[in-house]
């Protein structure tokens, strides 16, 4: 408890500083964006930082960085630091999303149809 008698502000910058160890990025930074899919390669271990353990727990099936951020209620930048730590340790795997480009003919047909309305 703080001197004012209130609990520690869980949304405050102090918590984020503690979670990341004061880092804004890890030493070996992987190319992660909000749609990069993360999947767990191993289970969490006893004594592991709670946020890291939570990532390993929720990423048993692939989740995007944005989804992980939402699940943990943490900014994507903080999640990125944590994910880079897990990637460096080989505990998670990052996958590019399976994005298939849309068919140009279909897009042109939709635009044409919309213009005729």
Question: Per-residue pLDDT tens for 87-117?
Answer: 989 999 998 877 667 788 888 999 999 999 8
- Is pTM beyond 0.85? Reply is no
Q: What is the DSSP letter of 91?
A: S
CATH number of 13-116: 1.10.10
The domain limits of the chain are 13-116
User: In this structure, what token pair is assigned to residue 112?
Assistant: 């044409």
Helix (H, G, I), strand (E, B) or coil at 87: helix
Model pLDDT, residue 63: 94
pLDDT at residue 21 greater than cutoff 90: no
């Amino acid at each position: 408890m703080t001197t004012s008698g209130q609990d520690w502000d869980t949304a405050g910058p102090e918590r984020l500083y503690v979670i990341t160890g004061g880092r804004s990025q890890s030493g070996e930074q992987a190319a992660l964006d909000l749609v990069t899919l993360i999947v767990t390669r191993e289970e969490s271990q006893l004594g592991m930082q709670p946020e890291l353990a939570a990532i390993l727990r929720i990423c048993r099936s692939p989740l995007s960085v944005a989804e992980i951020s939402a699940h943990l209620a943490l900014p994507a930048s903080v999640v990125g630091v944590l994910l880079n730590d897990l990637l460096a340790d080989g505990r998670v795997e990052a996958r590019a999303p399976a994005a298939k480009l849309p068919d140009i003919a279909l897009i042109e047909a939709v635009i044409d149809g919309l213009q005729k309305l």
